[in-house]
Amino acid sequence: MSRRRTRPDTSGKPGYITPEGYRRFEEEADRLWNVDRPKMAKAVQVAAAEGDRSENAEYQYSKQRLAAIDRRLRFLGRRLEVLTMVDEQPPDDGRVYFGSWVTIEDEDGNEQTYRIVGPDEIDAHKRWISMESPVGKSLLSRAVGDEVILRRPKGEVTCEIVAVRNTPPD
């Protein structure tokens, strides 16, 4: 039986990333390489010195954790090689571009602000959505005052773009 991914592997696929997202990837790789990996390698060494490795749970756990760190480092290295950092400010013409913060208002008058980012840096808590998501695709290249139909899991909703910023909202 083959194991299917829940999300397609984008490790070799070129894409766009904001400077903040790129910096976050670099900081994670730096932390993994300089802090977490040496600590886990030491834990493996200490656990291995305790004797029989086949029945040593601490040794088994440390080896698995070290392998997970190495996998993540390889992934980050491959992604950082192929990602294109978009660090230039888009024109301030009221249109939605990659990296823009977009405020929309639905039919009930509820406002929500989203940031359009690359698929590697989506964050539901910050309301950063992928430019490749259905909502992101619907908003890109639209302008303030445009009505858009957003297709969401709950169903379609008509919204109006009320603000577009290239800097974080207050």
* 138 and 106 both lie in a single domain: yes
Residue 7's pLDDT band (boundaries 50, 70, 90)?
low
Q: What is the mean pLDDT of residues 13-42?
A: 92
Q: Tell me the backbone φ, ψ of residue 103, rounded to 5 degrees.
A: -105, 125
Q: Is the pLDDT of residue 108 over 50?
A: yes
Q: Within this chain, do residues 65 and 115 fall inside the same structural domain, yes or no?
A: no
Q: What is the pLDDT of residue 1?
A: 42
| Mean pLDDT computed over every residue of the chain | 88
Report the predicted TM-score, pTM, of the whole model to 2 decimal places: 0.77
pLDDT of residue 2: 45
Q: Tally the domains of the chain.
A: 2
Least confident of 22-31, 54-63, 79-88: 54-63
Do residue 80 and residue 113 come from a single domain?
no
* Per-residue pLDDT band at 153 (split at 50, 70, 90): confident
CATH number at residue 134: 3.10.50.30
- Cα distance between residue 138 and residue 143, in whole Å: 11
Answer yes or no: is 123 within a domain.
Answer: yes
Helices assigned H by DSSP within the chain = 19-31, 37-48, 57-82, 134-139
SS3 92: coil
In a domain, 170, yes or no: no
Does a structural domain hold residue 158?
yes
Asked if the structure places residue 45 within a domain, the reply is yes
Query: Which pLDDT belongs to residue 168?
Result: 86
Classify 170 as helix, strand or coil: coil
Same domain (yes/no): 56, 25: yes
Same domain? For 79 and 41 the reply is yes
3-state secondary structure of 62: helix
Q: Domain limits at 153?
A: 101-165
Residue 22 lies in a domain: yes
pLDDT of residue 3: 47
Q: Is residue 95 part of a domain?
A: no
Which residue, of 57, 85, 113, is where some domain finishes?
85
What is the reported pLDDT for 13?
A: 66
What was the pLDDT predicted at 49?
84
Indicate whether 158 and 106 sit together in one domain.
Answer: yes
Q: What is the pLDDT of residue 154?
A: 80
**Mean pLDDT over residues 31-51, rounded?**
90
